[in-house]
Every structure is written in structure tokens, then in C-alpha cells.
Amino acid sequence: MKQHRFYRIINMIVLPLAAYIGVNVLLSIFASLTNPLLLLFSFITACIPLYAFTANYFYNRSIKLQQPSKPSLKDFIKVNAYVCIILSVVMFLAGLMAITALTNSSIQAEMFKKMQESSFIPIVKAQVLQFLKIIVYFFLPFSILLLIHIIITLRLVKRYDHFFTNQRNNSSE
């Protein structure tokens, strides 16, 4: 089990953040019922907590306790992992763009000019800069940790593939 120590540490970081994202998704689903695009984004974002909790369930049940799981769990982990990979890449790129916007004053000026032109309400520069800092400090590290977690989980799913058995077939043999 020493070989899984790094995975468990990342898992302890990813799970609370996934729970926080899950609560926000639940709240945003009700708020976005009037906007189909926001509702779609809420459902896509729901893949992060779904992936994190099913991967944790697989790890605790199949790897730690050596008990079989249903093959549908493997499929569920993989599907949510692939969606989370896309979201992680998007979060990573958003973090890089936020770093670029924070460090380059000409990009900031152009960004605020376009925001002022397209918005009906006044844009406060300090709030936008604070939002960009949140993206850099939260989304960038989380996206990297989530990608590492997904890669390790998919390797574990492949390595421990024998735990995904159809329990009805095994009982009839």
C-alpha cells in the first residue's frame, strides 16, 4: 500500500474540492433552469464530483478491501474521467490566460475595454482582477491535481481490471 500513498494524498485534496464543486453544482442547477447553456455547463461540471467519489469508492472497495465491483462502475469512472480531463484542460488554459492577463497591462487594458463595450453595467477593474487571481490560485493547481488523479485512477482501473466482475455470472459457475 506504500505505492498508493501519493494517490491517497491527492485523493484527500481532490475529494473536499469535489464536494465543494458538487454543492455549487446543485445550487447552480436550480439557478440555471431558465438558461439551457448554463444548465448544460452545470451537468458537465457535475462530472467532477461524480468522478471523484466513484474513483474513491473503487479505490476503497476494490483495492483496499479486495472486493469485486460491478463492470458498470468501471464504465462510469471512465466516462466521468474523460469529461473531467476536458474540464481540467479548460481550467488549466483559463489559468494560463488569467496569468497572462494579470502580468500584461496592455492585455488588461484591451480586456477591460471590450468588457466595458459589451456590458450594460459598469465593470469594476478590482473585482475582475480579483476574479482572475482566484482562477490562478484555485483552478490552475486544482486542474493539475485533477489531471494527475485521473491518470493514476485510469492506470489503477486498468491494473485492477479483474475486480470488475459481473457477480451474477460468478455465482452461476
Q: Tens digit of pLDDT for each residue in 131-159?
A: 888 888 888 999 999 999 999 999 999 99
Domain boundaries, the chain: 2-167
Residue 69, beta-bridge partner list:
164
Which of the residues in the chain have pLDDT under 70? Answer: 1-3, 167-173
pLDDT on residue 18? 94
pLDDT on residue 172? 43
pLDDT on residue 53? 96
Q: How far apart are CA 165 and CA 64, in angstroms?
A: 17
pLDDT on residue 124? 79
Supply the pTM of this predicted model: 0.83
- Residue position matching grid coordinates 466516462: 79
pLDDT on residue 125? 78
pLDDT on residue 167? 59
Nearest residue to 100 via CA among 86, 111, 116, 114: 111
